[in-house]
Chain A
Amino acid sequence: MLDLLAQTGLNAVYAASYISLVAVGLVLIFGVMGVINFAHGELFMAGAYVVVAVYADMHMPFFLAVVVGLLFVGCLGLLMERALFRPLRDNPLGGLVASIGFLMILQALASMGFGVRMEFIPPVTQHVVWFTDTISIPLARVYVIVAAVLLLSTLWYFLKRTRFGWALRASAQDPQAAELQGISIAQTAKIAMFIGAGLAGIAGTLTAPLVSVNPHMGHSVIVTAFIVIIVGGVGSLEGAIIASVVYAFVHTFVTTFYGGVIADITGLSLMLLVLIVKPTGLFGSADRA
């Protein structure tokens, strides 16, 4: 029993690490741009397809595929910022519809380029890390955990310690005041979109060998990310990370013991419960709604 709990706990840590990568990107985009990026799950999907193209089809090293994925999806984010969100800055519902349109385009491109069937990706490594005789974790999952911790702490340092980070947080808090201080809103928007999209892309590349890659894989990712950022409080990066961990643990444990559908219901009920008790999420403030 204790072994099962420890094993499930390890799986939960893995789930938490890639969910928090996606959720933090979504929060960053919402904080700076003020739009709900519905296409965020499809950015994750795009990252996974970069691995299909570069690693599985062209037989390049996996590490290269991850870097290409980060850059490619980051550039998709820049494209979205320039073509969609900048012209629609004063129109939050417009940003929503535009990102839905972008989502459909990305899905259609993926199914036209690669087909709608599940892609086979050769495993990056067959190694399994054994803690005891019964508790183990595949090395590929350890990569995801390590990458998530490294990336999120780098982002943390960037946001709290560098001038760019200050500018980014300032324009998330109050765009007009930030602009009066000489901060270029367009500049920070670009940086935020690149980082936000890139995080989703890198999560997609790292998990691609571990999950089933298909054009509709973004759907469950975006649903999870929405739950997480709501529980954490929209616009709060710390909240998003903590909520990712909580959600991943609850979801993984309930899935292990009661099955997937009950786990989904539990996750959603947990979120509704948090909203009923504190309608702005655990770490949210009222004015960011």
Chain B
Amino acid sequence: MLKYLIWPIAAVALIALPHGLSFSQQEILVFLTINILVVSSYRLLTLTGEWSLAHVVIMGVGAYASAMMTKNLGIYVPISMLLGGITAALIAVILSFPLFRMKGFYFLIGSFAAGEIIRLLWKHFRDPFGGAKGIKGIDPMPDFSIGIYNFDFFEPVSYFYFAGFIVIICLWILWRIERSPVGLTFHAVHWQDKLAEASGVNLRAYRTLAFAIASGFAGIGGALLAHYIGTINPGSFDLDYMVFVLTWAIVGGTGTFYGPILGCVVLTILNEVVLREMGFEQLRPLIYGAILIASILFLPNGLESIVQKFTKRRAKP
């Protein structure tokens, strides 16, 4: 009984959620929704055992592509978001040629360099990327009405519904990919690479595939962000943001699908809501840093290990 009720209840709760929040909290909710997509797509890449520092820049590729397509070519906004994702995936395929010669720490730093080059290119070329000031006045989502509800996309609530809808579809696709034979091969590439290669799996091709899919969804996330805030610049996708994504994933734990999402939600709420409301504006980075250290020292397997503890106990009797 509970099994069938849980999804409608979750849907109602998500629809009701923004109405109980203040305006600034609603804005944080929109960013949180987009970040959930970014961190979940990041996990798909980590399934193959590689940790990238280019993910946020690739997300920016989607944002820039979508913004430029609507501005210069006049493409309708939701379609441009999809095209932004595809552009990000294509850039990822190109980057994979140099990057997947490396592994481990070298890949981590190599991907950082590749991302930083893209970011500096945005900064250097005023035409067409707008230089350090970036792109301003990006077209918002066109308003529309579905009878009972008027979507005005300058309102965070409306944009939360729109972004939430897109993100849930993307998460569902990511989930299906992970459960498919392709997803299982990603696991094999990570944990049994020699065995997988001996069984005829093309390691490089699967790594590239995971990188491209993850980048595509990150690009869609970036496009969602660009059309919400209306202005993007190279600083929007810097190393600080990447460090946040990395810590969400590691603190949440990457062993399960919900781990990174849990990390993202818990750390965002702690950082943006709890510490801000308590008036620790100056101390915020200090406490956030202390929380990171404490969580990695006392929960080395991530927040997901708490959930697993409870679900396992319930399954026993």
Contact = CB atoms under 8 A, between A and B. Distances in A.
A230 B106 contact: yes
Interface stretch (B25-33, B65-73, B191-199, B284-292): B284-292
A2 B257 CA distance: 61
A256 to B, nearest CB: 17
A283 interface: no
A109 B286 contact: yes
A97 B285 contact: no
A226 interface: yes
Interface residues of B, number: 40
Contacts of A183: none
Given A230-B109, A276-B98, A223 B116 contact: yes
A115 to B, nearest CB: 11
A-side interface size class: 35 or more
Interface string B280-317: 00111110111111001100100000000000000000
B124 A261 contact: yes
B106 A84 contact: no
Interface in A60-114: 83-84, 87-88, 91, 93-94, 96-98, 100-105, 107-109, 111-112
A101 B296 CA distance: 10
16 contacts: A36-B105, A88-B297, A88-B300, A98-B296, A101-B288, A104-B288, A105-B289, A108-B289, A262-B124, A268-B116, A269-B117, A272-B98, A275-B101, A275-B102, A276-B98, A279-B101
Interface stretch (B35-43, B218-226, B243-251): B243-251
A289 B106 contact: yes
A123 B289 CA distance: 34
Nearest to A116: B282
Contacts of B285: 104-105, 107-108
Given A108-B282, A226-B112, A264-B120, A94 B106 contact: no
Nearest to A229: B109
A233 B21 CA distance: 51
B110 interface: yes
A186 interface: no
Interface in B157-175: none
A234 interface: yes
Nearest to A269: B117
B104 interface: yes
Given A98-B293, A223-B116, A264-B120, A104 B300 contact: no
Nearest to B291: A101
B113 interface: yes
Contacts of B114: 268, 272
Which of B104, B292, B296 has its CB near the most chain A CB atoms (within 10 A)?
Answer: B296
Contact of A226 (B109, B250, B288): B109
B102 A97 contact: no
B296 A279 contact: no
A261 B120 contact: yes
Contacts of A276: 98, 101
B51 interface: yes
A112 B282 contact: yes
B285 to A, nearest CB: 4
B296 A88 contact: yes
Interface in A246-289: 261-262, 264-265, 268-269, 271-272, 275-276, 279-281, 289
B121 interface: yes
Interface in B136-189: none
Contacts of A213: none
B109 A84 contact: no
